[in-house]
Structure 1
């Protein structure tokens, strides 16, 4: 194909990609066009019955998670950045470990250990001769908030740590030389500079909270996400599900805008902080009581968010290996790996094509499609499911012979489509960061030497993007392995994954059997966390050098 033909075909392909990625959102919004008397009665009934409960429960949960994640993430980020104490370098990467724990796995672990029939309350009743329930109910809004706080605080920790390390350290050193006490340096310099980072991290944590299905459904909490699935699957009312999905989508978009605004303020503060800092920054050395407090602040989230859940899940494994479904575990793992490999390969190919198109011709169409793909990660899995099944249902009703319903629900096409909508943004972000490190002068030199678009990508860009491509594929692979809401509904028959099986076994109170697939997901999730820790450490060493 000649170069002019490629130029003419590119906008068509980009628009097709944009349509595929945005179809779930467009279908959810288009459900409002089906306005009739029945729909009005449904919405009226929902507003009088379930909607207030969904809204109030989601609001309470978000307030608790937002406050807890902000305090915990800011405290840990400040501890390892502004202070120097034994074990600080170890805590820098240990505090990232809860990122490897899916929130629903943490919920299973705490429920198994702390519930009325769990080992802790049984031991307390036998030891102290007590009766009845001795601990608060784990399956509650408070219990869900506890799980989300310790599972999601690393979002705030990462951004706060970067903000304080890049900007606050120099300014605090300058204030120290001017005679300002430590308390004033923290309150007047560190906290204000970290505020945009904390806001961005909290917004990310809240988006994950609102998109969650596993914890809310397992704990029996009536949030918007569980309400969407209940309206679709239990009440068989797709219009009600679409309306709930629209409300959830609007809230998530607002949070996404807040996160993007906070990121812009972080970049602005970075420029000012870099120019202001001239003195050599030195963390404050801690001894005695402050040292114990720093150890407690850093050890508590690691213990609650990773160490204890892993130990709680290992207990049933060590107690009775015979009850574990080892024979079926291979099938579950194979299904998870297969879906992850297919989805990651397609997502990387899509991201590479979009990033290359932006590199060559950053016009309005290319930028618009790229932004649409970038928004996919913020769309909750429940919204994607409803958005995919709605147009399929319309097509099946209009053209029964098309077989659209069977193609989406009875094969892996539907679930891989949902994964691409959800996780192509992860691969695209990695590809764009990789392209940012390739000088544009290389492209100009290749064109002068007569290289066309294919040759430029294959001979110049690809050798420089191999590591970036591998990292993007790994991130998408791990996200697909842990994805629960879309997989629950769209997976074909006999295609259970580790995430789905862990949820089903835990829901049936077979927590001992759920430990095996849950721990397998944790082990897979550790890979990108360790790579992230290594990347952050190398950047710190390069900055010092």
Structure 2
């Protein structure tokens, strides 16, 4: 304890209840990441040599290619859509401005099997074209290639770029283009030489979010049978039964995530940007004729491919048998998903609120770095965190059984329990909850805290009677976002769930693995409906602020 006090004093801090609370919460969230990194070089030699000589290079190559292609496609789609709906006016613009966010509600693995159902060899599109043209059109729909997988995933992830790019273009307004025109640039050249460079921080942020989601994806690549490091971690653990090899692959993937985050920090840190206007206060360029038709067509194509057609296909699959499928088993899946998501939302938000309070009360240089490291779990794939959580829990189980002389038939006390699952969710989604809660915490003034202390409120009373009421909006937003993220989370749920605990996402994975896409339609629609809640909430917030 004395050494810890000395270390904190050297770092410019003080050892008190707030500092110790922050250190405790941070250590809980950082432990799985430390376990993964410390296990590098300790894989099972036989299994590792097999993967190293036969699969590792392919796994790394597929992961890198998929990462680059998805990032590129999402950047092109999201930036172009944001530019047209923000800086121009055309029929349907107000509808498209919020409707283009709807693909956020659709999990990537649902997008994957619906697109395969639509455009694969036996799908309605190719069957119709073969009947009309009388020729094999498979070559024109290489959906099971790297480019096909990347295009499908980019349709699910482009809203991240779209949202941030729209904010960027709204902040700069038409004044940026007017500056370009003063140099003799045409509107098109002004877009490339003025608007895009000014929007670079937001675009980089959006692309980094897409890159994180791509690295973390397990369901979509599994449906396409496209092997990446994420699927390699799962197969090494559950197919080759080598946890140490899974940890080795997880270490490679974690290093990739750290590299992506570092690149984003470096790119952002090299330049500074300021807003030069507001698009909402400037007249948009009115599009007419062929230009308007082209922009409307582009919006319709993207929205149709990314949301309307997949949802329509799911409805067609689900309609004939929905009365049969909507049985007690399905309701059990719904209850499992809702219960798990509610508990996780409450757990994550509670930890986020406590961490935000501890951060506010601990004035030290190391606090920001510690909080940033603690929220890194959102950038780490679920398969990696599942491995990182399982290893220390398995060690603790073995120690408890050996030390206490317990006779446990299953050989597990904590493994496969709801507590371990909640720990994994807290590590994974703490960043989602903390960003909303800490943003709301900034609105609590020092004078309000002093007034509460003058009334004799202790730390816990202030939590319930000051901080929680004043940050209610941020807390509710955090719970909503975490709730939906947990509803859609599949790999970590699949790998850490208690025995017999079924959720909608696990049910979808089980059905799609067996090729039962029609049976997976109803649980997929249930997930999409739940995912629409935060999307519509974001659209409503934008409308309230005058952004839509």
Tell me the TM-score normalized by structure 2. Answer: 0.90
Determine helix, strand or coil for the equivalent of 2:336: helix
**For the structure 1 residues 278 and 117, does the alpha-carbon distance in structure 2 shift closer, same or farther, using more than 3 Å as the test?**
closer
Which residue matches 1:228? Answer: 233
1:141 aligns to 2:146 (yes or no): yes
The structural deviation recorded for 1:415 is 1.5
Deviation of residue 391 (structure 1)? 2.2
Q: Does 1:540 align with 2:546?
A: yes
Look up the match of 1:452.
Answer: 458
Residue 397 of structure 1 and its aligned partner are, at CA, apart by: 4.8
Out of 502, 512, 517, the position equivalent to 1:511 is: 517
* 1:480 paired residue number: 486
Asked if 1:28 is matched to 2:33, the reply is no
Distance change in 2, residues 1:398/1:253 (3 Å):
same
**Alignment match, 2:252:** 247
The 1:91–1:139 alpha-carbon spacing in structure 2 relative to 1, beyond 3 Å, is same
After TM superposition, give the deviation of residue 410 of structure 1 in Å: 3.1
Looking at structure 2, the residues matched to 414 and 452 of structure 1 have their Cα atoms a distance apart, in angstroms, of 32
User: Which position in structure 1 is the counterpart of 2:291?
Assistant: 290
**Corresponding position of 2:262:** 257
Distance in 1 separating the partners of 2:518 and 2:99: 27
Name 1:3's counterpart in structure 2.
none
Question: 1:369 Cα deviation (Å)?
Answer: 4.0
Residue 350 of structure 2: aligned partner: 349
Partner residue, 2:3: none
Query: Quick check: 1:505–1:513 contact (8 Å CA) kept in 2?
Result: yes
Aligned CA RMSD, in angstroms, stands at 2.7
Alpha-carbon deviation of 1:122? 3.7
**Aligned residue for 1:466?**
472
Distance 1:200 1:381 in 2: 21
1:159: Cα distance to partner? 1.1
- Name the structure 1 match of 2:318: 317
Mapped partners of 1:524, 1:262: distance in 2: 35
Structure 1 residue aligned with 2:336: 335
For residue 510 of structure 1, give the secondary structure of its aligned residue in structure 2.
coil
Measured in 1, the distance between the counterparts of 2:353 and 2:55 equals 44
412-421 vs 522-531, which moves further: 412-421
- Which piece of structure 1 moves more, 420-429 or 16-25? 16-25
- Aligned equivalents of 2:451 and 2:157: distance in 1? 45
Q: 1:143 to 1:386 in 2, by over 3 A?
A: same
Aligned residue number for residue 16 of structure 1: 24
Structure 1, residues 163-187: CA drift from partner, whole Å, max 9, x if none? 1110253222344467643123212
Residues 1:442 and 2:448 aligned together: yes
Deviation at 1:91, TM superposition (A): 1.1
What is the CA–CA distance in structure 2 between the aligned matches of 1:120 and 1:357, rounded to whole Å?
A: 56
| Alpha-carbon separation, structure 2, partners of 1:139 and 1:90 | 33
Alignment of 1:187-226 (within 5 A): 187-226=192-231
The CA deviation at 1:534 is 1.4
Q: Which of 63, 71, 80 is residue 76 of structure 2 equivalent to?
A: 71
Trace 1:164-179 onto structure 2 (pairs within 5 A).
164-176=169-181
Select which of 269, 272, 289 maps to 2:273: 269
Q: Go from structure 1 to structure 2 and tell me whether the alpha carbon gap of 1:287 and 1:279 turns closer, same or farther (over 3 Å shift).
A: closer
1:500 aligns with 2:501: no
Deviations 1:465-489 (A, max 9, x none): 1122111111111000000011111
C-alpha separation in 2, matches of 1:263 and 1:80 = 26
On the 8 A contact 1:98/1:306 being kept in 2, the answer is: yes
Aligned residue among 43, 57, 62 for 2:67: 62
- Tell me by how many angstroms 1:449 deviates: 4.5
The Cα offsets for residues 187-217 of structure 1, whole Å up to 9 and x where unpaired, read as 2211111222222211110110111000111
Give the conservation status (yes or no) of the 8 Å contact 1:62–1:206. Answer: yes
Aligned-residue offset at 1:33: 6.4
Q: Is residue 126–residue 137 contact of structure 2 (8 Å, CA) maintained in 1? A: no
Residues 169 and 279 in structure 2, CA contact (< 8 A), matched pair in contact too: no
2:474 is paired with a residue of what secondary structure?
A: helix
Give the conservation status (yes or no) of the 8 Å contact 2:22–2:359.
Answer: no
- Report the alpha carbon displacement of residue 143 of structure 1 after superposing the two structures with TM: 2.4
Please give the secondary structure, in 1, of the residue aligned with 2:518.
helix
Structure 1 CA distance, aligned partners of 2:413 and 2:509?
25
1:46: Cα distance to partner?
3.0
The reply to whether residue 427 of structure 1 matches residue 433 of structure 2 is yes
- For 2:169 and 2:161, the matched residues in 1 are separated by 12
Which has the larger displacement, 185-194 or 392-401?
392-401
Q: By how many angstroms is 1:450 displaced?
A: 4.2
Q: SS at the partner of 1:98?
A: helix
Q: Secondary structure at the match of 1:495?
A: coil
Residue of 220, 237, 258 corresponding to 2:242: 237
Question: Helix, strand or coil: the match of 2:363?
Answer: coil
* In 1: Cα distance, 2:486 partner to 2:393 partner: 23
Aligned residue in 2 for 1:389: 390
Aligned residues of 1:200 and 1:258 also touching (Cα < 8 A): no
Cα distance in 2 for partners of 1:492, 1:100 equals 26
Alignment of 1:521-536 (within 5 A): 521-536=527-542
Does the C-alpha gap of structure 1 residues 155 and 55 become closer, same or farther in structure 2, counting only changes over 3 Å? Answer: same
Cα drift, residue 48 of structure 1: 2.1
